[in-house]
């Protein structure tokens, strides 16, 4: 992967998407990518990068590149 942020799953459940990003990517950078490349279709768009330590929602280390992380983003 050459981009800093890649969309992995454009829709996860009702109002989430999953992205793979370089671990140092900021929330603002991730949200900009999400809102530009996969608009949520809601009034406020993608609003939150979930950074908790919950193993179910992430963040999760990328299996293909340990320097990248998979994040869930919520609208």
pLDDT score at 1: 42
Q: Which two tokens stand for residue 35?
A: 């809102």
Residue ranges per domain, the chain? 5-74
Residue 36, φ and ψ in degrees, nearest 5: -80, -40
Per-residue pLDDT tens over the stretch 15-70? 899 999 998 999 999 999 999 999 998 899 999 999 876 656 678 899 999 999 99
pLDDT score at 52: 78
User: Dmax over Cα atoms in the chain, in whole Å?
Assistant: 35
pLDDT score at 55: 56
pLDDT score at 14: 81
pLDDT score at 8: 92
């Amino acid at each position: 992967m050459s981009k800093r942020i890649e969309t992995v799953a454009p829709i996860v459940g009702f109002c989430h998407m999953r992205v793979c990003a370089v671990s140092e990517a900021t929330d603002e950078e991730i949200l900009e990518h999400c809102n530009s490349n996969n608009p949520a279709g809601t009034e406020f768009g993608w609003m939150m990068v979930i950074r908790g330590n919950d193993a179910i929602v992430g963040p999760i280390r990328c299996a293909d590149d340990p320097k990248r992380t998979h994040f869930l983003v919520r609208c």
